Amino acid sequence: MNFLRRTVLATAAAMALAPAAGFAQETIKVGEINHYKRMAAFAEPYKMGIELALSEINEDGGVLGKDLEFIFRDDQGDPAEAVKIAEELMTRDGAVMLTGTILSHVGLALSSFAAEKGYLYLAAEPLADSLVWKSGNPYTFRLRASTWVQAAMLAEEAAKTDAIKYATIAPNYAYGQDAVEAFKENLKRLKPEVEFVAEQWPALFKIDAGAEVQAIERAKPDAIYNVTFGTDLAKLVREGGDRGLFDGRNVYGLLTGEPEYLEPLGDEAPEGWFVTGFPWYALEDGTPGKTFVDAYTEATGETPKIGSLVGYMTAQSIAAAIEAAGATDTEALVAAFEGLTIEDTPIGALTYREIDNQSTLGAWVGTTALEDGKGVMVDWEYKDPAPYMPSDEEITAMRPAE
Amino acid sequence: MAFFLAQFLTGLANAAALFLVASGLSLIFGVTRIVNFAHGSFYMLGAFIGIYLMEILPGAVGFWGAILLTGIAVGLIGAIVEMVVLRPIYRAPELFQLVATFGVILVIQDLALMIWGAEDRLGPRAPGLRGVWRIFGEPVPKYDIILIAITPFILFALWYLITKTRLGVLVRAATQDREMVGALGVNQAWLFTGVFALGSALAGWGGALQLPKGGADLLMDFNIIGAVFVVVVIGGMGSLPGAFIASVLISVLNVFGVTYLPQSTLVLMFVVMAVVLIIRPYGLLGREEVAGEHGQVGAPETPIRPYGPVGQALVAALLLGLALLPLFVDQFMLILTIDMVIFALFAASLHFILGSGGLVSFGHAAFFGGGAYAAALLVFHTDTPMELAFLFAPLAAGLLALGIGWFCIRLTGVYFAMLTLAFSQLVWSLAFQWRAVTRGDDGLVNIWPSDWLSGTETYYYFALILGVGGILFLRHVIHSPFGYALRAGRDSARQAEATGIDVKRVQFAAFALAGAMAGLAGGIFVFAKGSVFPTELEIAKSFDALIVVFLGGVKTLAGGVVGAGFMTVVEDWLTRLEYWRLLLGLVIIAVVIVMPEGIVGTLRTLWRRIRHTDEETV
């Protein structure tokens, strides 16, 4: 009973809120801002990942001898609202730093706000490259591997084939445009003779899949690069599958292998696509990743999404930074985050690079396949982001003078 | 040739679901005059209920049976919504009901999340209809052909219902003159309920029929509503054949747009709507609205007067309180108040043209966001000093309003509203897509005020002086000869013309002034937040303002301001809770039912009743 469980959880959460105020001085608070309603499918696993990490951290005695607590707030996916809530969290609720957001533009708004006001902001999920590069600032750190890195991993694989003519399809907004640009640039560097014969730009979550498939088919590409996700992806896969678009063509899918997007496709998941994703089901026993998956499944009764992992590692990163700083003022925390290394995350050691405040979290790449009526990634490997990053000089040149 | 045919078929198949949803909306509007924002929610319910039923009922019979049952179920839900939420407020001012339907959207969104969870659902395939047929060698999905075949039957069935049955006669009569239908002894209440249920059922069928091509998710209500309104307006509000032609037109154009102009996906339909409305102001098959045809429902309105001594003293006390606020409260309270002042000025500017001008704009965010963007672009690209860039915000927004107003002002009523919506979407897509200049949805960041203004307290006074100044200025304009001319044009365009007022020109000027004031609010906004994103130009932003104006009370002076304050505070409280959308939706519906004249309007009526004074002495 989904409804019943949710109601119980909501009531429990409401009751938990009440006494929290009384113990204000006994916890260290972190302000977490996200689009819990607008992007519920992505935000809920993320939140559960955080909660799992928090329970583990606090069982081990918390940070600096106090419990670590997250204050979760909903910004409705509106950057202006997020900035307002951030101010409240920092000045009224006693949060020591900010984290959260999935949508890149909200992340960019919070990042600019954090730099202006001198607050620390850890961007957990936003993928925009500019967050740590062109619009980077000393107060903003970012956990997830950015669009550029993930697209470069796919481009590397694409360059190995003899496909020359590519078609791209990406949602018509900044993320999609960045993703196509990054793929093109990386692929052309590796293989200058490729051409891009079609670029399709459906509106986000309003794809006209039949028409897009026809347009791509008309260009007769050798290979296709897909950036669509969520309901757009589902429609594209259906129409493309029915109309034979993917037959005999290599397809590269950015994020397509993430459980958030692959699972809802069920037995209609595409086969043979080369994708980035999160093959939680195939992690080996004894690895830290598997330990995380088991703990998460046990605690929540659900299988993990990539958001669960990001949430978990967000809370881990923050706890480690506070512990390393030995204090909770912003300057100490920023200093602690620079070059911070956390040994025991689900991917092993994780470092926040000093040069651009980006973490060293990489991405899993692999080929999609159907197993037991479900889409999975096979022949996958975890790739470190370092080889796919621009050079240190390029990054320093991109980042505004610190 | 075969490729064109295949594309055309894709367009026709896409038109099926769109036509079903749009015909429902058109029907509801035609009879009840309700602009039903919640129509997309019924479409979403149709998809979720359809999946649920298809899982229970097996096989082909089960599939088609599930679709049939879905429509009936959604129709029942529609009937309940109509009876509980809308029936009490039919006598409220025109378009007031759209606020209630907005509350319904919020409630349905959270209920759907509670019942079905957050994950996207893939729709089941139609049994036996997976795969393609080849037509001249081009693959065409089997289900597309079925959809293309079904649509004419639905159109025919609706046409038969409307033209050949007694119910249809009543519906048509009510569309033309509902007062007269009532006078002839037809029970209007049940007629309205029935039509609303039928319209909702059509939306539900639309949601269920598209399942084999898509699925169900929690964003689909908002994702379709724009397209549906465009179709209904292009076809002509209330016209079923019009809705059919328009949905085919939009769907087919979209398919060709995708192929030959792939970047056009965001705006194509709004461009088409703008062109159609400029050439045919009432849509393809719409009927010209005769002024006053549907009458002013409710009690005749008394002209708004300036506040008496009591009112003035209250306002002065409030202003004094705001001026002294920094002495008593913490920093966040100041920031919340800045937000409130910005929103109040934005709402007041909309209230000015809506209340005094009688012009309902669905695209007012174009000027708010336009002003914000104008200032931000100057700072971002040319490092213009903040003070100069700030002045540019109202100026640019005013100019934008002059440009948009020139096209829109010749239209009236809902068509005016929809044309402003189309233009605001064009402005939005410009900000969204012209990345070289606007950085797209990465937005313009680091737009902070000059050093002397950067303290929260200083900026508070800056916002307060300009915001309150703008609101008071608008209030003065309402009581100036210009304001009286504007109100005359609203109440009776013909009599106003006869007394020598150039109604359209007065409305044009008022529209530009309202745009400039919204731009001023946008200017204060961008330096308060330090960034601006295309979200400030979205339809949702326009509707935020519209809703608070109606909630506060259209036919009052302070409606916009009070509504904005009320909404900011309520939202700030409720968003802390898990199911805040459900609660906010219920609060909105409750306010609408209890206070059909808006908050200020109803309080004023109460006050008069308590004082036992007649209206002349207030």
How confident is the model over B241-268, as pLDDT tens digits? 999 999 999 999 999 999 888 888 778 8
Q: Is residue A276 a contact partner of residue A365, using CB atoms and an 8 Å limit? A: yes
pLDDT tens profile A312-333: 999 999 999 999 999 999 999 9
Mean pLDDT throughout B81-97? 85
Q: Is residue B11 a contact partner of residue B144, using CB atoms and an 8 Å limit? A: no
Looking at the partner chain, which of B259, B330, B441 has a beta carbon nearest the beta carbon of A214? B259
Dist. CA B616–CA A82, nearest whole Å? 48
Question: H or E segment at A79?
Answer: helix A79-91
**Eight-state DSSP code of residue A382:** E
Mean pLDDT throughout B540-567? 89
pLDDT tens profile B63-77: 999 999 999 999 999
- In chain B, what is the straight-line distance between the N-terminal and C-terminal CA atoms, in Å? 73
Helix (H, G, I), strand (E, B) or coil at B161: helix
- In chain A, what is the straight-line distance between the N-terminal and C-terminal CA atoms, in Å? 52
pLDDT of residue B58: 85
pLDDT tens profile A47-85: 999 999 999 999 999 999 999 999 999 998 889 899 999
Mean pLDDT throughout B100-111? 94
pLDDT tens profile B267-281: 888 889 889 988 988
pLDDT of B180 strictly over 60: yes
pLDDT tens profile B23-43: 999 999 888 888 898 999 999
Q: Is residue A89 a contact partner of residue A98, using CB atoms and an 8 Å limit? A: yes
Q: Which of A 266-295 lie inside 8 A of B, CB atoms?
A: 266, 268
Q: Is residue A204 a contact partner of residue A171, using CB atoms and an 8 Å limit? A: yes
Provide the angle, in degrees to the nearest 10, between the axes of the packed helices A306-325 and A330-337: 120
- The string over A190-216, giving b where at least 16 C-beta atoms fall within 10 Å of a residue's C-beta and e elsewhere, is ebeebebbbbbbbbbbbbbbbbbbbbb
Determine, for residues B217 and A231 on separate chains, whether the beta-carbon distance falls below 8 Å: yes
pLDDT tens profile B339-356: 999 999 999 999 999 988
pLDDT of residue B300: 53
Mean pLDDT throughout B191-219? 94
Tell me whether residue B158 is exposed, middle or buried, using C-beta atoms within 10 angstroms of its C-beta: 0 to 12, 13 to 18, 19 or more. Answer: buried
Q: Is residue B30 a contact partner of residue B175, using CB atoms and an 8 Å limit? A: yes
What is the 3 state secondary structure string of B534-559? Answer: HHHHCHHHHHHHHHHHHHHCCCCCCH
Dist. CA A231–CA A229, nearest whole Å? 6
Contacts with B14 from chain A: Cβ below 8 Å: 208, 210-211
pLDDT of B335 strictly over 80: yes
**Is the CB of B221 inside 8 Å of chain A's CB atoms?**
no
Q: Which of A 96-135 lie inside 8 A of B, CB atoms?
A: 104-105, 108-109, 111-113, 115-116, 128, 130, 135
Determine, for residues B440 and A198 on separate chains, whether the beta-carbon distance falls below 8 Å: no
Mutation choice for B interface testing from A33, A116, A261 by most B CBs within 10 A: A116
Q: Is residue A363 a contact partner of residue A385, using CB atoms and an 8 Å limit? A: yes
pLDDT of B296 strictly over 50: no
Determine, for residues A108 and B442 on separate chains, whether the beta-carbon distance falls below 8 Å: yes
- Closest listed residue to residue B394, CA positions, set B349, B440, B429: B349
Q: Which of B 268-307 lie inside 8 A of A, CB atoms?
A: none
Mean pLDDT throughout A214-235? 95
Retrieve residue A312's tokens. Answer: 């978990």
Determine, for residues B445 and A198 on separate chains, whether the beta-carbon distance falls below 8 Å: no
pLDDT of B226 strictly over 50: yes
Question: H or E segment at B231?
Answer: helix B220-235
pLDDT of A4 strictly over 50: no
pLDDT tens profile B353-378: 998 888 989 999 999 999 999 999 99
Residue of B nearest to A238 (CA): B213
Looking at the partner chain, which of B432, B529, B531 has a beta carbon nearest the beta carbon of A173? B432
pLDDT of residue A3: 46
pLDDT tens profile B398-451: 999 999 999 999 888 888 988 999 899 899 988 988 888 988 888 898 889 988
For chains A and B, count residue pairs whose Cβ atoms are closer than 8 Å: 202
Dist. CA A154–CA A147, nearest whole Å? 11
Q: Which residues pair with B444 in a beta bridge?
A: B532
Q: Is residue B173 a contact partner of residue B185, using CB atoms and an 8 Å limit? A: no
Determine, for residues B531 and A83 on separate chains, whether the beta-carbon distance falls below 8 Å: yes
Tell me whether residue B190 is exposed, middle or buried, using C-beta atoms within 10 angstroms of its C-beta: 0 to 12, 13 to 18, 19 or more. Answer: exposed
* Residue A95 dihedral angles phi and psi, to the nearest 5°: -70, 145
Helix (H, G, I), strand (E, B) or coil at A63: strand
Contacts with B441 from chain A: Cβ below 8 Å: 104-105, 173-174
Kindly provide the ipTM of the predicted complex, given to two decimals.
0.87
Dist. CA A47–CA A71, nearest whole Å? 11
pLDDT tens profile A149-170: 999 999 999 999 999 999 999 9
pLDDT above 70 coverage of chain B, percent: 96
Determine, for residues B131 and A91 on separate chains, whether the beta-carbon distance falls below 8 Å: no
* Residue A374 dihedral angles phi and psi, to the nearest 5°: -135, 145
Dist. CA B594–CA B590, nearest whole Å? 6
pLDDT of residue B289: 63
Place of tokens 């009937």: B79
pLDDT above 90 coverage of chain A, percent: 80
Looking at the partner chain, which of B139, B331, B535 has a beta carbon nearest the beta carbon of A79? B535
pLDDT tens profile A238-270: 999 999 999 999 999 999 999 999 999 999 999
Higher pLDDT, B536 or A20: B536
pLDDT of residue B305: 77
Q: Which residues pair with A342 in a beta bridge?
A: A350
pLDDT of residue A179: 94
Helix (H, G, I), strand (E, B) or coil at B516: helix
Q: Is residue A176 a contact partner of residue A151, using CB atoms and an 8 Å limit? A: no
- Closest listed residue to residue A122, CA positions, set A133, A137, A134: A137
Strands, DSSP E only, in A230-373?
250-257, 274-277, 341-345, 348-351, 363-371
Contacts with A265 from chain B: Cβ below 8 Å: 122
pLDDT of B611 strictly over 50: yes
**Is the CB of B576 inside 8 Å of chain A's CB atoms?**
yes
pLDDT of residue B120: 87
pLDDT tens profile B304-324: 777 888 888 989 999 999 999
Dist. CA B441–CA A173, nearest whole Å? 7
Dist. CA B547–CA B567, nearest whole Å? 9
Instruction: Show the domains of chain A with their CATH numbers.
Output: 2-146+286-362 (3.40.50.2300), 148-281+363-393 (3.40.50.2300)
Largest CA distance in chain B: 81
Residue of A nearest to B337 (CA): A84
Question: H or E segment at A198?
Answer: strand A195-200
Confidence class of residue B616 from pLDDT cuts 50, 70 and 90? very low
pLDDT of residue B510: 96
pLDDT of residue A258: 95
Contacts with B258 from chain A: Cβ below 8 Å: 200, 202, 208, 211-212, 214-215
Dist. CA B69–CA A232, nearest whole Å? 27
Dist. CA B262–CA A201, nearest whole Å? 6
pLDDT of B302 strictly over 70: no
- Closest listed residue to residue A144, CA positions, set A254, A292, A301: A254
Dist. CA B74–CA B49, nearest whole Å? 8
Looking at the partner chain, which of B13, B223, B442 has a beta carbon nearest the beta carbon of A105? B442
Q: Is residue B442 a contact partner of residue A128, using CB atoms and an 8 Å limit? A: yes
Determine, for residues B443 and A108 on separate chains, whether the beta-carbon distance falls below 8 Å: yes
Determine, for residues A109 and B218 on separate chains, whether the beta-carbon distance falls below 8 Å: no
**Eight-state DSSP code of residue A169:** E
Dist. CA A215–CA B353, nearest whole Å? 45
Retrieve residue B521's tokens. Answer: 């609010």
**Eight-state DSSP code of residue A128:** -
Within chain B, all domains assigned CATH 1.10.3470 are found at 309-617
- Closest listed residue to residue A148, CA positions, set A193, A181, A113, A106: A181
pLDDT of B332 strictly over 70: yes
**Is the CB of A220 inside 8 Å of chain B's CB atoms?**
no
Residue type, B47: A
- The string over B463-475, giving b where at least 16 C-beta atoms fall within 10 Å of a residue's C-beta and e elsewhere, is bbebbbebbebbb
Dist. CA B595–CA B467, nearest whole Å? 27
Distance (Å) of CA A322 to CA A317, A328, A347, B294: 9, 6, 21, 66
CATH 1.10.3470 given to domain B309-617: yes
Dist. CA A395–CA A351, nearest whole Å? 17
Mean pLDDT throughout A342-359? 94
Confidence class of residue B119 from pLDDT cuts 50, 70 and 90? confident
pLDDT of B79 strictly over 60: yes
Residue of B nearest to A129 (CA): B442
For B280, other C-beta atoms within 10 Å of its C-beta total 14
- Among the residue ranges A27-31, A243-247, A348-352, B440-444, the one predicted with the least confidence is B440-444
Q: Is residue B202 a contact partner of residue B224, using CB atoms and an 8 Å limit? A: no
Confidence class of residue A14 from pLDDT cuts 50, 70 and 90? very low
Determine, for residues A105 and B533 on separate chains, whether the beta-carbon distance falls below 8 Å: yes
Tell me whether residue A311 is exposed, middle or buried, using C-beta atoms within 10 angstroms of its C-beta: 0 to 12, 13 to 18, 19 or more. Answer: buried
pLDDT of residue B106: 94
pLDDT of residue A8: 47
pLDDT of B615 strictly over 80: no
pLDDT of residue B188: 83
State CA A81 to chain mean position distance.
Answer: 21
pLDDT of residue B613: 59
Contacts with B530 from chain A: Cβ below 8 Å: 83, 109, 112-113, 116
Confidence class of residue A296 from pLDDT cuts 50, 70 and 90? very high
Retrieve residue B128's tokens. Answer: 């036996």
Looking at the partner chain, which of A10, A105, A235 has a beta carbon nearest the beta carbon of B441? A105
Question: H or E segment at B333?
Answer: helix B331-351
